[in-house]
Structures are given as C-alpha cells and as structure tokens.
Structure 1
Amino acid sequence: MDALSTANVEFCLDVFKELNYNHAGDNVFFSPLSLLYALSMILLGARGNSAGQMEKVLHFNHIVESSGPEFKGLAKCSQAGRIHSELGVLFSQINRSDSNYILSIANRLYGTKAMAFHEGKSVTVEMMYQTGKFKMALIEEPQMQVLELPYVNNTLGMIILLPVGTADIDQVEKQLNSKTFQEWTSPSSMVERDVEVHLPRFKLEITYELNSLLESLGMTDIFSRVRADLSGMSPGKGLFVSKVIHKSHVEVSEEGTEAAVATGDVLAVKRLPVRAQFLANRPFLLFIRHSHTNMILFCGKLASP
C-alpha cells in the first residue's frame, strides 16, 4: 500500500498545482483518491499508448517499477486490474461500516453529454476558537505552521499548511512537492503540544471539468476520437472519453472538530503551559488524510472563506 500512497500524493500535488494555476485567487478543493479510483476504471480498458499515458499521469508506473517480479511479469491489463483491486481494498478500509463517516464518490465519467462548469461557492464566516493538544510543526523555510486536527477517533486528520511571518501562500506552494510534504508532516516534525486554534468555518462545493488539466499532465489520447485506444472495453472503433467531471464538498464547523478538543484544561492551567497560537486568518492549504493508510482523501486551498 506504500506505493499506492506515494502515487496518491504525487497525483494529488500534480492536480492541485494545475487547478491552482488555472483558478488563481480562487478556492480549490478536490478528492485525489476518488479521481484515482475513477480513472483507474478507464485504465482497465485502455491499451497501447493510451494506457501508457494514463499510468504515467496517475503515477502507477512507479508502482510497477517498485513491485516484485511476479507483479512486473503480469500483462499491462492485469497490472491495471491489480492496482484497481488494491484501490478497492483501500476504499473498504477507509469506508468501513463501523466508521462514523461515509466517503462518497461524487465524480463520474461521461461520454458526450455536455455539462456546465460551476465555480466554487464562498461564504462569509466567523472564526472558530478551540484549545487542546494537537500535533504541530514549525517550518523555517518557508515560514509556516503545520497543524493536524484529528477526526472520528483519529481515523482521519485535517492537515493545514499556514504561512506565517513574512511568508505567503505562494512561497508555500512553490516549495510544495511530495518530498517536502512528507518532511513537513512527518512524525519527527509534528510534535503534540497545547495549541490555541483560530480557524474559519467554511463550506466548499466545487465542480471541475478536468479534460484540459489531465491533457496538460500528459493524458491526451483517451480524449481523442482518433487516438484513443479503449479496446479493452469494446472492440468497436471511435470509443473515447468526452468529459471528466469532478465534484467535491467539505464543511468545517465546531461540530466537525469537537472530537479533536482535548479534555483536561484544569491540569493545563495548573502547570501554566505556553500555548502555541494558530491563527488561520490568511490563505492556507488543507489536506484530509486517512491515518492508517496515509491516503489523501481531499486536498484544497482556502483563499476566501
């Protein structure tokens, strides 16, 4: 599952950077895991160059390279099936029946049906205030605070990258890649401490049409009536993907973070700790991650709450 987690992070950051570039100044929110899962279904039927492009963009080629000889020896279609099956196992782990949450896949793949593009919605909100013990890192370059807010008995965690001091969100975005993300959020960097958290309530519901984004990453052939090779789905000619539509939704409120509030403030007062301040009054990046598998379920940027 480590290889899938790495592919998930790489693909997540690739898509984020493209969305952020194409929607400068706007809120950004999407689910890299649901996109991986949906596109892996197309990959099952892709062949030739179409399959090669998809594997590269989804970073599934690295899974093959890091796998043992038994996996590498499988045919391309069998490798895709194995990866898709492992993603299904991950979904089962993440969306267990005894969980206090439900992960819904909101994106679908359409053929030639036209869909309107919807911009992200923004609302005016008040700041929430909480105190408790949270995992937090202080990054020197760029100047940044990294905070993890746990949910549903630590099953999920919302990781926030907040620029501080003279740094701004652009500096964080420029240095953000899979390596720095792992470093910034590693157990050696994240230390549990008393923190006063000021966080805006916000609700995002954003829909994207992702054809041009995926093409810019290198997944071009599946959108071409002439070049697409989806012969694994149908022997007929001219089968191609017309549109990829993706919709994600998130709402953050006191109710959603109530489980993260640490009890025992009386003890904290007795030993008079110095509490760290986490004031999210400027644009920040957020990642909702499944703690057990390290898969990023959602990724976004709050530019205007």
Structure 2
Amino acid sequence: MLALCILPLLLAQVQARMGEEPTAELSVRLYHQLQSEGTQNIVFSPVSVALALGLVELGARGSSLKEIRQAVGYSHLKPGEEFSLLENMTQQLTSDDSPCILRLANSLFLQTGVHFYPDFLQLAQKYFKAETETVDFGESAVVAQHINDWVENHTESKIRDLLSSEDFSSLTRLALVNAVYFRGSWKNQFRPENTRTFSFSKDDGTDVQTLMMYQQGDFYYGEFSDGSTEAGGVYQVLEMPYEGEDMSMMIVLPRQEVPLATLEPIIQAQLLDDWVANVKKQKVEVYLPRFKVEQKLDLRDTLQQLGIRNIFSKDADLSAMTDGKDLYISKAVQKAYLEVTEEGAEGAASSGMIALTRTLVLCPQVMADHPFFFFIRNRRTGSVLFMGRVMKPEVIEPNQHDFEGV
C-alpha cells in the first residue's frame, strides 16, 4: 500500500499599490469542507496540512496567527504549545522501529537577497526539521523544475510536476513545501488468487465493475449507531492493521441501501476516538475493492472556508518571518496519492454514539461494495496521515469471474 502527499505554500509580496494529538480536529473539518464541494473520491493528508500550517504559524502574528490557531483547533493550548506537539508527533511517526516506511520532509525555498529572521529559520529547523535553500523565483521555470525534483526525490517519484513556472513570479518570496510518503504491508495480506471481478454500487444507483479482494481473518470490528436514523441506522467500522501494528486503516461502511452522504454529517474528531476505542478483535469476512485515489487540491479556498483568510490577503501579518511588510500566501496546494492492493498500501501524500455488541456467533461480513469513508492513522499517537472516501474504485472491463466458490 502506498500513500503520499505533497503540499507547497507559496508566499508572495504584495505590489506597492496593494500531549495532545494535533491533527484530529483539522482532519474532520477539512473532510467536511471537501465533501461539501462534490461527489468525487477524496484523499488528503491532515498531517501534511498541519505541518505546513505550523511552518506558517511560526512566522505569523496578530490576527493571522489567531485565525490559524482557531481553525486548526489550538485555541485551548498555551501560545506556542502546538509546536512541541507537532515536533513530538513527527518524531514518533518517523521512528525507526516500525516495519512501515513513513517519511516526512519539509523545505523552505527562500528568495535570494531577501532577509529572513534567523530565529524563524532556526525554529523551523527545530520543530519541523525544515531544510532551507535560496533560489531566484524570477527564474520561474528553473525554480519549478528544482522544487518538482525535490518532491519526486521525497515521494519515490510518485508525485511529479506538482508546480509549474506559472506558480511563481518576481513577487514570490518563499515556498514552503511538505511531503509525506507512506508504504505499509497489511498484517494479514489478501491472497491475490481470491481477488475477483465484482459489482460496486455507486450512490447514484449505477454499478461499475471492479476488482474485489477477499479474506477471512482476525480484525478489529464493531457495529455502531448514533441512536437515531440520522446516520442511516447501524453502520460498520473495520480496523485493518499494517505489519507491526503501529499503523492501521479504518473503514467506515454504511448499510448497502444507505448513501455515504447520510453517514458523513456525524463524523467528528471525538467519534474517530470512539470508533478506535470500541472495535473488538474478532474473525471477520472482508470484501474490499482494490483502489487508487489521487487528488490535487487547491487548499486556498478550502482553508479560507475554515476561517484562515488573513494570510491569503494583503492584510496578512507574517512579520515574524521577515522585515518585509507585504508578504502573503499566494498559493496552497496539496497533491495526495493512495493505492490499496492485496499486499497493503502505498501513497504519497460523537455525540450520542452507541456501540452495539453482536449476539450472534456468525462471523461478521464487511462487504465494501458501495461507497465508504476511510482514514489511516498511527495507533500510538492517533495522528491521521490520510483521510478520504471511495465513491468509485478503479473500473475494469467485466469478465466471467465472480465470487462464486470463494
């Protein structure tokens, strides 16, 4: 399984005339904003966004700083406490004792000749291990190629051509780029010979043919209800650990006849914790489509909808970065990629909750042949690396294979 993500923030200069998990709240706020914008597949990395915004926050002051802290969910923390949380999160996520491969990389590309405060650069290195390099943004094509090469090197070449020469100008002063690369093998791998062509029912009532993986094994499983019909009644939650069990994927599946949009409104940060705390290890039959989702998101509008507006305007106060008075964020882009196969994953980028206990001895069956919500998390820290939904998996040409006899 591969998952990767890249997120650059480009800062430009206005022309003269102009102990706690730090990603959960941001995860669900971003998800709800993205799901409200369409019916497509979604994949993004909350960790990547949190780290990039953390770098900006280091240089922000006044209302710019206040907006970031409120939107990300840091208002209840002492000023600056979030940086230690992000630093600790990064250290724990990238520890060498896990069989999963997880790499986090941050880099600051600075305009040659512009003075950035040493304190800002030192703190960026301390908390985020951010590399620094000077470039001439006036040479936009050269800089775009250089940053794209950096991205490719840190995502095993899975993400290419992220930026173009049009993303830079002589007014660009700073590019903050963050990359996340994850590769993990399932603790219980699917046997490829059990994969068959299967119908996947989309929420619009149409079906597509996809490759469905199958296995029966020991997983963490639970059935839940919000106590009303708001979420369509009972829904299933399946946790599938990766090798080493530090990382896992959570699958949240409504009933066959219930559209995912009916379940999505109840998703909150506390509910993620409730799911994790209440699933129980047991034997489960799992039908999961092979899927690959890739998405390039313009996060500028999304972050503005979450209340982070000031840093994108001429009113931005980034005075802790440099003595230049007219800096603002000109672009915020994330590109994420997630592929789930028989071997595992690879990628580049609750109120009223009631847990239900099964009384039947029968083996539960999770049939993900219709849209579902997912997230990949570190089981020690709770940090959400990737979050999204599958509305339509990879479509293949129909053939004679099906699940009869499996």
Q: Give the shorter-chain TM-score range.
A: 0.7 to 0.9
Query: Per the alignment, do residues 210 and 101 of structure 1 end up closer, same or farther by CA in structure 2, a change over 3 Å counting?
Result: same
Distance 2:290 2:343 in 1: 10
In structure 2, give the amino acid aligned to 1:133.
D
1:243 aligns with 2:257: no
2:282 pairs, out of 169, 193, 196, with 193
Kindly tell me: are residues 215 and 254 of structure 1, through their superposed partners in 2, closer, same or farther at Cα, counting changes over 3 Å? same
Task: Tell me if the contact between 2:286 and 2:367 (Cα under 8 Å) persists in the aligned partners.
Answer: yes
Task: Report the Cα distance in structure 1 between the residues aligned to 2:292 and 2:279, rounded to whole angstroms.
Answer: 27
Match of 1:67 in 2: none
Distance of aligned partners of 1:241 and 1:300 in 2 relative to their CA distance in 1, 3 Å threshold: same
CA contact (8 A) 2:100 2:242 kept: no
Whether the 8 Å contact between 1:37 and 1:84 is mirrored in structure 2 is no
Shift of 1:165: 4.8
Summarize the Cα distance change of 1:230–1:125 in structure 2 as closer, same or farther, 3 Å threshold.
Answer: same
Report the equivalent of 1:139: 224
Q: Cα distance, 1:182 vs. partner?
A: 2.6
Hey, what's the Cα distance between the residues in 2 that align with 1:102 and 1:182? 24
Question: What amino acid maps onto 1:256 in structure 2?
Answer: G
Residue type of the partner of 1:96?
S
> Whole-Å Cα distance in 2 between the matches of residues 30 and 99 of structure 1?
23
**Aligned ranges for residues 74-85 of structure 1 at < 5 Å?**
76=79, 79=80, 82-85=81-84
Question: What residue in structure 2 maps to residue 281 of structure 1?
Answer: 369
- Give the RMSD, CA atoms, in angstroms: 2.4
Equivalent-residue separation in structure 1 for 2:341 and 2:312 (angstroms): 39
Alpha-carbon distance, 1:280 to partner: 0.1
Task: State the partner residue of 2:304.
Answer: 215
| Contact kept in structure 2, 1:109 and 1:245, CA below 8 Å | no
Residue 29 of structure 1 aligns to which amino acid in structure 2? V
Contact 1:45 1:232 in 2 (8 A): yes
Give the structure 2 partner of residue 95 of structure 1: 94
Cα distance change, pair 102–88 in 1 and its aligned pair in 2 (3 A): farther
Structure 1 counterpart of 2:268, from 164, 168, 177: 177
Paired letter, 2:100: Y
Taking a change above 3 Å as real, the CA distance of residues 28 and 108 of structure 1, as seen in their structure-2 partners, is farther
1:252 and 2:340 matched: yes
CA shift for structure 1 position 108: 7.8
Higher helix share: 1
How far residue 274 of structure 1 moved from its aligned partner, in angstroms, is 2.2
- Change in Cα spacing, 1:277 to 1:108, as seen in structure 2 (3 Å) is farther
Residue 31 of structure 2 corresponds to: 16
Deviating more after overlay: 196-205 vs 168-177: 168-177
Count residues in correspondence: 262
Instruction: Describe how 1:29-108 pairs up with structure 2 within 5 A.
Output: 29-64=43-78, 76=79, 79=80, 82-105=81-104
Query: What secondary structure is seen at the aligned counterpart in 2 of 1:232?
Result: coil
Does structure 2 conserve the Cα–Cα contact (< 8 Å) formed by 1:28 and 1:300? yes
Structure 2 unaligned regions, length at least 5: 1-18, 111-136, 138-164, 168-207, 346-360, 394-406
Larger CA Rg, structure 1 vs 2 = 2
- Quote how far apart the aligned CAs of 1:295 are: 1.0
**AA partner of residue 131 (structure 1):** Q
Q: Give the direction of change, closer, same or farther, for the CA distance of 1:194–1:11 in structure 2 (3 Å limit).
A: same
What is the CA distance between 1:153 and its match in structure 2? 1.5
Query: Deviations 1:247-275 (Å, cap 9, x if unpaired)?
Result: 11211111117xxxxxxxxxxxxxxx621
TM-score by length of 2: 0.61
Residue in 1 aligned with 2:129?
none
CA–CA distance in structure 2, aligned partners of residues 49 and 275 of structure 1: 54
8 A contact 2:235–2:252 mirrored in 1: yes
1:128: how far off?
A: 0.3
Report whether the alignment pairs 1:292 with 2:291: no
CA deviation after TM superposition for structure 1 residue 60, in Å:
1.2
- Contact kept? 2:41, 2:389, Cα under 8 Å: yes
Kindly report which structure 2 residues correspond to 1:220-239, keeping only aligned pairs within 5 A, or say none.
Answer: 220-225=309-314, 227-239=315-327
Give 1:90's aligned amino acid: M
Q: Percent identity?
A: 34
**Counterpart-to-counterpart distance in 2, 1:110 and 1:60:** 27
Query: In 1, distance between residues paired with 2:333 and 2:98?
Result: 28
Name the structure where strand makes up a greater proportion of residues: 2
CA distance in structure 2 between the partners assigned to 1:222 and 1:96 by the alignment:
33
- Aligned partner of 2:149 in structure 1 is none
With over 3 angstroms needed to count, the CA separation of the structure-2 counterparts of 1:157 and 1:243, relative to structure 1, is same
